[in-house]
């Protein structure tokens, strides 16, 4: 049994992979290949990606797409249209209006935000499950799967590694963490995942959780920002106003057996009133949640109350 690990930059973020088991080096290379494959397919910025093909060819003309991409968009649309959901997979025009996280980030005009909002309606994504076709109801629409794709990809990669019977694996796709099997670096076998302190430097944590066979995904206003004058703007955009979400939340962490579910709910619930978000988390037996407000106050879902004591340690 050997351990293999690597770090790479992809999908606009830093990715860490670690695999323990037989043929771990070979499996790590294959995992990286699959990761690049999915990243290219689902990128809205790659002119050859399947997502770009949708943007170019699906306006009022049904386009047949791969079954897995069809399912991903279908689930994303359902969650985007759900009551109280902050998720919106049609938010591409609004993201491009702001460009937060890119070198050309800027404060858009109110007119450009208004136009972007018109083209950012998930209800204008038309799907036919009988033919696996998609069409877009407006000419300047663009899908952005950034809020759900990393979780989906992590689950696909882990399913492959489990099939290959790895002893353990850790996938960290830019903060989307998914673990399987025992941690070879700790006698307890647990993986210790730190929850970032929004007010501190990277690696400074308000809370550290020991987990096994789970995923942890965090959405936070500290991840990507830009300044215009004295005002800072974060990248989590309100699909109603077109501006960054105005909320008491600084970060929302979701814990789930599936990274896809954690990814969806960490976006879907971000920006809701804290009590409302916690109530929705507590209603789902497969979800746990941690909310940090702008004063660094911690709020935990019911089944996490045993971790109430915070620790400012790095892992």
Total tally of structural domains belonging to the chain = 2
* Confidence (pLDDT) at 307: 55
Residue 154 lies in a domain: no
Last residue of a domain, one of 73, 104, 136: 136
What pLDDT, in 10s, does the model give residues 207-223?
899 999 999 999 998 87
What pLDDT, in 10s, does the model give residues 68-127?
999 999 999 999 999 999 999 999 999 999 988 888 989 999 999 999 999 999 999 999
197-205: long-range contacts at Cβ-Cβ below 8 A with a sequence spacing of 24 or more?
A: 197/292, 197/296, 197/312, 198/222, 198/250, 198/251, 198/292, 198/294, 198/296, 199/250, 199/296, 203/314, 204/312, 204/314, 205/311, 205/312, 205/313, 205/314, 205/315
Q: Would you say 301 and 312 are in contact if contact means Cβ atoms under 8 Å apart?
A: no
Last residue of a domain, one of 95, 121, 136: 136
Half-sphere exposure of 273 (CA within 13 A, CB side): 3
* Confidence (pLDDT) at 253: 97
Residue 182 lies in a domain: no
Closest by CA position to 235, among listed 13, 9, 8: 13
**Rounded to two decimals, what is the model's pTM?**
0.92
Task: Give 315's pLDDT tier (boundaries 50, 70, 90).
Answer: very low
309 and 204 both lie in a single domain: yes
* Confidence (pLDDT) at 312: 40
Residue 159 lies in a domain: no
φ/ψ bin of 54: left (φ > 0), alpha (ψ from -120 to 50), beta (otherwise): alpha
Task: Give 60's pLDDT tier (boundaries 50, 70, 90).
Answer: confident
What pLDDT, in 10s, does the model give residues 231-263?
888 989 999 999 999 999 999 999 999 999 999
> What is the span of the domain harbouring residue 204?
190-315
Task: Give 311's pLDDT tier (boundaries 50, 70, 90).
Answer: very low
DSSP 21-69: ETTHHHHHHHHHHHHHHHHHHH-SS-TTSHHHHHHHH-BTS-EE--HHH
Residue 28 lies in a domain: no
Residue 152 lies in a domain: no
Mean per-residue pLDDT, 194-200: 91
């Amino acid at each position: 049994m050997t351990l293999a690990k690597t770090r790479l930059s992809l999908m606009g973020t830093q990715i860490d992979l670690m695999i323990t088991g037989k043929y771990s080096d070979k499996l790590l290379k294959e995992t990286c290949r699959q990761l690049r494959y999915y990243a290219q397919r689902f990128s809205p910025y790659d002119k050859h990606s399947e997502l770009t093909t949708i943007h170019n060819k699906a306006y009022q003309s049904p386009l047949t797409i791969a079954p897995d991409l069809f399912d991903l968009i279908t689930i994303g649309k359902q969650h985007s249209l759900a009551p109280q959901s902050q998720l919106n997979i049609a938010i591409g025009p609004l993201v491009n209006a702001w460009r937060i996280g890119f070198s050309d980030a800027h404060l858009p005009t109110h007119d450009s935000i208004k136009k972007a909002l018109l083209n950012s309606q998930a209800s204008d994504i038309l799907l036919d499950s009988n033919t696996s076709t998609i069409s877009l109801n407006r000419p300047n629409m663009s899908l952005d799967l950034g809020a759900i794709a990393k979780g989906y990809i992590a689950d696909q990669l882990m399913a492959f590694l489990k099939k290959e019977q790895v002893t353990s694996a850790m996938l960290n796709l830019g903060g989307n963490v998914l673990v399987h099997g025992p941690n070879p670096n700790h006698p307890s076998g647990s993986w210790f995942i730190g929850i970032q302190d929004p007010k501190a430097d990277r690696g400074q944590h308000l809370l550290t959780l020991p987990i096994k066979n789970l995923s942890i995904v965090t959405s936070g206003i500290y991840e990507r920002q830009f300044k215009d004058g004295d005002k800072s703007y974060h990248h989590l955009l309100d699909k109603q106003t077109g501006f960054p979400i105005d909320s008491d939340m600084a970060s929302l962490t979701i814990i789930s057996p599936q990274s896809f579910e954690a990814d969806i709910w960490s976006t879907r619930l971000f920006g809701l009133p804290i009590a409302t978000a916690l109530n929705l988390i507590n209603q789902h037996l497969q979800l746990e949640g941690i909310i940090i407000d702008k004063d660094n106050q911690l709020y935990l879902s019911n089944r996490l109350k045993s971790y109430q004591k915070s620790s400012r340690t790095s892992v």
